[in-house]
Structure 1
Amino acid sequence: MDLLRVTTIGFTKSSAAHFFGRLRAAGVRRVMDVRLHNTSQLAGFAKADDLAWFLKSLGGIDYVHEPLLAPTADILDAFKKRKGDWRLYERQFLDLMQSRRIETTLAPDAFDGTCLLCSEATPHHCHRRLVVDYLNAKWHGRLAVEHL
């Protein structure tokens, strides 16, 4: 069983040059956007349609939005807007992934060469880390994960 190379990245606190440079240097072939809202004006260069164009033009990288891997608005708002507790957010999001059965809905091979994108600058308190950790547990450690 070969390991599947997966990366994660956030776009906040990053210039476009640094963001796209990290993706190219890591050999990313596809960005999987795991944000619930990917069209916000506040996203700058990471707004969905613009991001897809930049990725393809600057690095030949494909783009896909995968809302199945995003938290619900209720879970996200409780944490972000109402300054909720990370442990509660984590538990709710893990329960959501389990109820969605993402490990059976998505194929492990689809993640090879893929980078999960969210807005958070670091993976520590971001659901993209929870997604790869959850899938890695369900897929018996098949994902070799690097947080860019």
Structure 2
Amino acid sequence: MKIRVATIGFTQSSAEHFFGRIRESGVGKVVDVRLHNTSQLAGFAKADDLAYFLRALCDVDYVHEPLLAPTEEIMSDFRKKKNDWRVFRERFLGLMAERQIEKKLKPALFNGSCLLCAEAKPHHCHRQFVCDYLNDKWGGTLEVKHL
């Protein structure tokens, strides 16, 4: 059985374009995979505002899942070391293995959901690594679409 999951980033997007993509995708829930979801820099994507807008504009639920976020230390080291993406990937994959996210989270959480992070493009965001890791652990059951 395939589990359909989408991913989306909110930077470099207007609120109209962001919520339009969510609405058109048909997802039923947004799973926020950011460590910090209340930053003033997040604009319309601050946790409480985002949950409200998703319900009001898209009839979509909102869940924050920090278990799927890198630690502050991993993020800080990534920035200090001039954004070495390979090192970040290895450390984050190791963190997910250590956390055993494939055992703590059920595939049902992801079915019909959309993983949210800040980065505009999935190939430069940890949400792609979450999907890759879980697909490996769950036998390729995730069918991923980037919005």
Please indicate, yes or no, whether the TM-score normalized by the shorter chain is above 0.5. Answer: yes
Name the aligned partner's letter for residue 34 of structure 1.
V
1:80 and 1:119 mapped to 2: Cα distance?
15
1:80 and 1:126 mapped to 2: Cα distance?
13
Deviation at residue 56 of structure 1 after TM alignment = 0.3
* 2:52 alignment partner, SS class: helix
Deviation at residue 81 of structure 1 after TM alignment = 5.1
Specify the alignment match of 2:108 in structure 1: 109
1:103 and 1:80 mapped to 2: Cα distance?
27
Name the aligned partner's letter for residue 46 of structure 1.
A
1:85 and 1:123 mapped to 2: Cα distance?
16
- CA distance change for structure 1 residues 13 and 81 in 2, over 3 Å: closer, same or farther? farther
1:77 and 1:55 mapped to 2: Cα distance?
30
Specify the alignment match of 2:143 in structure 1: 144
CA offset digits 1:119-140 (Å, max 9, x no partner) = 0000011100000010011000
Specify the alignment match of 1:70 in structure 2: 69
* 1:64 alignment partner, SS class: strand
1:48 lines up with 2:50 in the alignment: no
CA offset digits 1:65-86 (Å, max 9, x no partner) = 0000000000011113552310
TM-score (norm 2): 0.98
Q: How many residues align?
A: 147
Name the aligned partner's letter for residue 16 of structure 1.
A
Specify the alignment match of 1:9 in structure 2: 8
1:134 lines up with 2:133 in the alignment: yes
- CA distance change for structure 1 residues 116 and 139 in 2, over 3 Å: closer, same or farther? same
* 1:124 alignment partner, SS class: helix
* 1:89 alignment partner, SS class: helix
Specify the alignment match of 1:99 in structure 2: 98
Query: What are the ranges of 5 or more consecutive residues in structure 1 without an aligned counterpart?
Result: none
Runs (4+) of structure 1 moved beyond 4 Å?
Answer: none
Deviation at residue 28 of structure 1 after TM alignment = 1.0
Specify the alignment match of 2:25 in structure 1: 26
Percent identity for Structure 1 against Structure 2: 65
**TM-align CA RMSD:** 0.8
Deviation at residue 52 of structure 1 after TM alignment = 0.3
CA offset digits 1:73-127 (Å, max 9, x no partner) = 0001111355231000000000000000000000012110100000000001110
